[in-house]
Amino acid sequence: MDNSILTLYLTFTSRPSLLKEIKNSFRIIAHKINSTAMKRLFSIKYSDNSISFATLLLRLGMGGLMIPHGYSKLINFADMSAKFADPFHIGTSTSLGLVIFAEFFCGIFVVLGLFTRLACIPIIIDMAVAVSYAHKGDIFDTGEKAMLFLFGFAALLFTGPGKVSMDRFIGK
Q: Is the pTM of this model over 0.75?
A: no
DSSP label at residue 99 = H
pLDDT by 10s per residue, the chain, length 172: 556 666 666 665 666 676 677 767 666 666 665 566 666 666 677 778 888 889 999 999 999 999 999 999 999 988 888 888 888 888 888 889 999 999 999 999 999 999 999 999 999 999 999 998 877 777 788 888 889 999 999 999 999 888 888 888 887 5
Q: Which of 19, 52, 55, 28 is nearest to 153 (CA)?
A: 55
Torsion of CA 47, 52, 54, 55, to 10 degrees: 140
Phi-psi region of 113 (alpha: psi -120 to 50; beta: other; left: phi over 0): left
How is the chain split into domains, by residue range? Answer: 3-41, 48-165
